[in-house]
Amino acid sequence: MAAPSHTAAPAEEKNLEMRVIRVGTRKSQLARIQTDSVVAMLKTLNPGLQFEIRDKILDTALSKIGEKSLFTKELEHALERNEVDLVVHSLKDLPTVLPPGFTIGAVCKRENPYDAVVFHPKFVGKTLETLPEKSVVGTSSLRRAAQLQRKFPHLQFKSIRGNLNTRLQKLDELQEFSAIILAAAGLQRMGWQNRVGQILHPEDCMYAVGQGALGVEVRAKDQDMLDLVGMLHDPETLLCCIAERAFLRHLEGGCSVPVAVHTAIKDGQLYLTGGVWSLDGSESMQETMQATIAVPAQHEDGPEDDPQLVGITAQNIPRVAQLAAENLGTSLANLLLNKGAKSILDVARQLNDAH
C-alpha cells in the first residue's frame, strides 16, 4: 500500500480537473454548513478543482424510524445513480455496515464529541443538578435519556424531535421544556455556542459512536474519489471511530438501544470505554480496554481484497493500526456480552419496539 500522500498524481489531478465534482447534501442548515466545510477543505488541498453542491429534498413522509436513515438512503441512491460523487454525513448517523458499493472514504477531524445542555431562558445559569424537581428535559436520544435518568433522578426526560432550529424554537417558545440536550458539535457548527449552558462530560453522559466527526461517503470502486477525499482522514479520529463502530457493530446496537462510548489516544495507546443501559437507566454495564496503536508512518502491506473496516476505507493510514482499533472495539463488546449485556440490550430493544 502506498505511503500517505497529500498530493494527487498529475494524471489523476488532470482527470478530476476535467469534471465538476458533485456533492450531495440534505436541505437543512446544519447539513449544508457541514458540507460547505468539507468542500472548503478539499478546495484548499486542490485549488484547481470545481465543486457543485446538490441539495436533496426528501419528499417521502418521514416516519418515527428514521428521518436520518431515510435521508441517508436517498443520498446513497443519488450516489448509486451517479448523480453525485460524494456525500457528507454526521458520522454518528451512518450505520456500521454500509450497503454494498458504498464506503466512508474520509473521517474528518472530530470536533467536540460531548453533549451540551441548552436551558430555557428562565433557567439560564442553572445546571441539570440544580434544575427544580420534576423539570422536563427534552432529548431525542435513548442513550442520553437512559444515562441522565440514572444520574439525575429528580428530572423527567421527554422526547423532542426536529432539526436544531426546530428544537431550540420549541424550547424557547413553549413552556414545556426546562432544557434540551444536543450534540455540542452541531451547536458549534451553527455558531450557537452562546446557548450552551453546560457540557456533559463522560462521567455524566458518554457520547454516541462517531459523535462530533464528519464522514464522507463515496462509491467503493471510485478510486479517483477515494484518493481525493482520503486526504481528509484525521488519523486519531479515524482510529477512535473504527474502535467505536466495531464496538457498536459487535453489540448489534443502533439508535434503538442505549449504547455509548468514550475514546482517547495517549502515548500510543487507544483507550475505549463503552457502556450499555436499560431504557430507564436502572441497569447499566460499562468497561474500559486499551490497545497499542503506535505504528510506523509507512508500511509495506500489499493491497487488501476488502479494504473496508466497519464501512470505512483509509488506504493512506497504516492497516495494522486500523486492525488494532477494530479488534479493540470487538474485544470490548465481547467483554460486555460475556458479562450479560445482551439481556439488557434485548429488553431495551423490545420495549422501544413496543412504543
Rounded-to-integer distance, Cα 241 and Cα 163, Å? 24
Residue 93 appears among annotated catalytic residues: yes
Q: Which residues pair with 102 in a beta bridge?
A: 219
Residues 6+ apart with CB under 8 A from 16: 8, 46, 49, 224, 228
140: three-class secondary structure by DSSP: coil
Rounded-to-integer distance, Cα 126 and Cα 214, Å? 31
Element (H, E) at 178: none
Of 93, 224, 234, 280, which is the active-site residue? 93
Rounded-to-integer distance, Cα 133 and Cα 286, Å? 28
Rounded-to-integer distance, Cα 313 and Cα 228, Å? 12
Taking residue 25's Cβ as centre, other Cβ atoms within 10 Å add up to 24
Cβ atoms of residues 269 and 289 within 8 Å: no
Give the residue from 114, 113, 120, 283 showing the smallest Cα distance to 128.
Answer: 120
Q: Which backbone phi and psi does 247 adopt, to 5 degrees?
A: -60, -50
Give the residue from 105, 34, 28, 106 showing the smallest Cα distance to 67.
Answer: 28
As annotated, the active-site residues are 93
